[in-house]
Structure 1
């Protein structure tokens, strides 16, 4: 239902739309810059502009994908079997993302055109979102809606690869946790703000803003136009602020698709030979990130089926849960920088294992128990997602950000079956143990999610944290 510190030898001096490397005084043997100056530079307009993309993109991954358009497409108006078709189409989109995301990131790395490709893919998401306006409630238009949703998912993930790769461009090793936490937290909060606007302004009332009603699905269809505009407006700041810095001419040479895959396989082989620690983290993070996704995917299901929440109560819980997750993610960014991302992830996963087990044990304790334990889960899910991004950002060799974050997307997609499969398997196990069926054993499913989180935690423990000592911009000097 419901993303010991080593000082950097350079710091970034941001001038209007350009990020220019500036030699650090400390690196030259002089005194370090005052902490206040570094913090002011680090959290100026470029960081906020970058974080606003997360705020704007929540229109697609929260309102469209989670709460509104997918629910609309699986309604009776689109005929029988729409939910199964939705599942297959999204699965196909996931395969395409897994296959092409690393190459997409690699090509952006080689060309030095991350901002360009972020802009192109974001505009394609905007176009897909706006196109959903034409999906009237009719079985004949189901496939149009499904294809637009799949295309939006694909381009959203490609945009996210370039967006994540920019993290080292605007942050230093000393503040990357706070910067990442700000973006991820804004994403949570932005999605809920927009959801409240469209729900109470268009979807819930019989006659919404501008006299719009639910006739011919117009309330949902106009919501799609608002989502497209929301994404566009809040994506413009980063696109206009962080200009591309093309790499050396030999890195900009055009590469065919087959050659791109050859380079990718060579890079993966080199990564395995020279830095297995990063490979191990990609594996561990793929597992626990799927567990984190499972918390939001099945949280509402368990709230309604096991703890008796009404549909309205589920929505209220979803709003509160996402706000809690957003605020916690921003606050935990400081702990990421102070303690390191690994400790934050370990703390978060351990707390979620305990809270998830508590949901299982207290399944018959009523709604209050779920409110308490469910919100504890939400406090830690965002920080774990954000710290996972900063953990990898600290490991990636300069100039490889897009490619490795593409692999990050691919590994996540490759194991995305784990949480759903574990949830379903424990439902069957619970039915076999208790002899009961349906909602009476639904609480057993939470043990499947807990198992995936615990497995990811176990895989993470041997991984060594890393610290970048310079940014990708240093190589362009």
Structure 2
């Protein structure tokens, strides 16, 4: 007999196992790597750097968009099938295979492979992404069977916290064991030229892209050989041409998932329900009836519209945050990785605290506070450069703007983690254990069917204004509209009826 505590911990392990797909592949490792090799390909066809970067981003964007369309179309039907047959775990098994196949296939995305490698990359990334999203739907659908209604907020928050911790650990392992850090100049590089002058008597100084490393710089010195961000020799050795240390992120993510899904499959069992055969016609009919029935379910309808807007804005903030840091403040990839670690660490703590606040006050106040924090972050991003923030002068030669963005990154991680956990709880309050898979597929549909809105608005406003900062301003409107729609959402969902 499996205890209630083990069932809950088994359910937590899905978040731990699956989170690296978002942390490592979508955001901090594979996404930037794909951009680099795509830019290299397009520059090889004769495009300049800016045009190549635009083509690379467009290629990646269309791949993600196509994947999102598939998820939006198929998710509600699959949810209805799962509810009508009474089976959820079998679908988690099935789509776990997609996750593993898609992640592992990214190993073959090597530099210099031409357009075929780019298609391979978005295809296998899409397969794994579909696996992650669909497995998440059916895992979320198991949540109502884990405990009593009053405990679900804390369970949801703890699950997200545990998942973010998994992503954080996975990112540290990738940076510390596989990925080569940039080398610092040798300590005696400047002193070798001290006192020497050029042909016209000017002091001869080293020509380099970055200032000389200060004493105590943790980066490896030139001549020491490649080192990771923890100062260790990379496990796969030198990879400047083959990029094996970066490409291993795909198999690493797949193996991580396989290992840490073991507790889930051992401890999480299917709730006892009536089991019937698959009937696609009936399932499609159920989806149509569910959509029609939304006109009589004002709270659920308002909540789906609200979450559609604020989740779209949050996902865009995740996706474009590193782009902002690179373009506006000129951050390196290594610094962006540290930025990700700060956000993930904040998300771990905040999701756990948010779960406790959810249990004490309900999910709606947690959602409202999280949206307000994220709106303020967007206001900071729109108004900040290295020289000023909303007219307040900053020292461009200092780290003032960097520190502000690091603080914003912590707020994004904290508020985003709490927002996602509380949103899952609010969805639970609008469904029953029998209809959970169908409800969460509808929740996934509302999050995917318009997932292009925020990126499209950012691109449009950026193009019109010519400012990357101002391009973030539509997110402020999306967050505020989402918060306004919460007025019509019953804080107790439909379980107060």
Partner Cα separation in structure 2 for residue 211 and residue 171 of structure 1: 48
Partner Cα separation in structure 2 for residue 281 and residue 108 of structure 1: 23
Deviation per CA, 1:320-346: give whole Å up to 9, x if none: 111111211111100001101001101
Partner of 1:37: none
Q: Does 1:72 align with 2:37?
A: no
Q: Does 1:56 align with 2:11?
A: no
Residue among 112, 128, 135 paired with 1:152? 128
Pairing of 1:122-137 with structure 2 (within 5 A):
122-137=96-111
Partner of 1:11: none
Aligned residues: 418
Partner of 2:46: none
Partner of 1:226: 252
Moved more, 51-60 or 346-355: 346-355
Residue among 219, 242, 260 paired with 1:216? 242
Partner of 1:270: 293
Q: TM-score, normalising length from structure 1? A: 0.82
Residue among 87, 102, 121 paired with 2:61? 87
Residue among 423, 426, 436 paired with 1:391? 426
Q: Does 1:166 align with 2:142?
A: yes
Say which structure is richer in helix: 1
Partner Cα separation in structure 2 for residue 75 and residue 310 of structure 1: 13
Larger radius of gyration, structure 1 or 2? 2
Identify if the C-alpha distance between structure 1 residues 428 and 131 changes in structure 2 by more than 3 Å, giving closer, same or farther.
Answer: closer
Identify if the C-alpha distance between structure 1 residues 150 and 359 changes in structure 2 by more than 3 Å, giving closer, same or farther.
Answer: closer
Partner Cα separation in structure 2 for residue 172 and residue 214 of structure 1: 53
Residue among 407, 415, 424 paired with 2:442? 407
Conserved 8 A contact 1:185-1:329: yes
Identify if the C-alpha distance between structure 1 residues 377 and 68 changes in structure 2 by more than 3 Å, giving closer, same or farther.
Answer: closer
Superposed displacement of residue 182, structure 1: 1.2
Conserved 8 A contact 2:28-2:340: no
Conserved 8 A contact 1:128-1:149: yes
Partner Cα separation in structure 2 for residue 425 and residue 180 of structure 1: 36
Partner of 1:241: 267
Partner of 1:188: 164
Pairing of 1:450-469 with structure 2 (within 5 A):
450-466=476-492
Conserved 8 A contact 1:114-1:244: yes
Conserved 8 A contact 2:87-2:270: yes
Partner Cα separation in structure 2 for residue 180 and residue 450 of structure 1: 26
Conserved 8 A contact 1:135-1:145: yes
Task: Look up the SS of the partner of 1:399 in the other structure.
Answer: helix
Conserved 8 A contact 1:349-1:457: yes
Q: What residue ranges of structure 1 are gaps of 5+ in the alignment?
A: 1-14, 20-40, 432-436, 471-477
Superposed displacement of residue 458, structure 1: 0.9
Partner of 2:173: 197
Superposed displacement of residue 425, structure 1: 3.8
Task: Look up the SS of the partner of 1:419 in the other structure.
Answer: helix
